[in-house]
C-alpha cells in the first residue's frame, strides 16, 4: 500500500461552510471548506448507508441528513448518538488553488518475488 496526492477539485468549487462529494476509484469522500481550512473524510456516515454530501456544515461539524448524527470534521470524531463510530479522515493540502487529498492506493506487484 502506498499513498499519493489526488487532485480532487478547485478551491472555488466548494462554498465556505459547505462540502462536495468526491468519488475516486470505488471509494467516495467528502471534502469540506470550513472557517479553519479544507478537510476530507469518508463520504458515508458510519451509522447507516447515508452519504454526507447533503449534510449540513456548521463550523467544524458535519451533520448527517438522515438522523442528524454529528462528526467533528478535522478529526472525524463521532460526537454522540446515534453515531458512535468515527469517520475516517484524510490529509488535505492546497496547491495552485487546487484541493489535493492523500489516499492509499494498492501498489501493483511486477510478478512473483525474486529470490
CA distance 84 to 32: 21
Q: Which residue has the cell 480532487?
A: 8
Instruction: Please name the residues in contact with 18: beta carbons below 8 A apart, sequence gap of 6 or more.
Output: 32, 33, 57
- Does position 66 bind ligand FES by CB under 6 A? yes
Complex with ligand FES: residue 62 or 100, whichever CB lies closer: 62
CA distance 11 to 14: 6
C-alpha cell at 87: 469517520
> Going residue by residue from 32 to 61, which x/- string records binding to ligand FES, judged by CB under 6 A?
-------------x-xx-x-----------
- Cβ 63 vs Cβ 55: under 8 Å: yes
- Does position 77 bind ligand FES by CB under 6 A? no
- Does position 83 bind ligand FES by CB under 6 A? yes
- Does position 87 bind ligand FES by CB under 6 A? no
**What's the min distance (Å) between Cβ of 46 and ligand FES?**
8
- Does position 98 bind ligand FES by CB under 6 A? no
CA distance 102 to 106: 13
Q: Give me the residues that bind ligand FES (CB under 6 A), please.
A: 45, 47-48, 50, 64, 66-67, 69, 82-83
Amino acid at each position: 500500500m502506498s499513498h499519493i496526492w489526488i487532485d480532487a477539485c478547485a478551491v472555488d468549487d466548494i462554498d465556505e461552510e459547505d462540502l462536495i462529494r468526491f468519488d475516486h476509484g470505488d471509494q467516495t469522500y467528502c471534502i469540506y471548506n470550513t472557517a479553519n481550512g479544507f478537510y476530507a473524510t469518508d463520504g458515508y456516515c458510519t451509522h447507516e448507508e447515508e452519504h454526507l454530501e447533503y449534510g449540513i456544515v456548521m463550523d467544524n461539524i458535519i451533520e448527517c441528513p438522515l438522523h442528524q448524527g454529528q462528526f467533528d470534521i478535522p478529526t472525524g470524531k463521532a460526537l454522540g448518538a446515534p453515531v458512535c463510530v468515527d469517520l475516517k479522515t484524510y490529509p488535505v493540502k492546497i496547491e495552485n488553488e487546487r484541493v489535493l487529498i492523500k489516499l492509499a492506493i494498492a501498489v501493483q506487484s511486477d510478478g512473483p518475488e525474486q529470490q
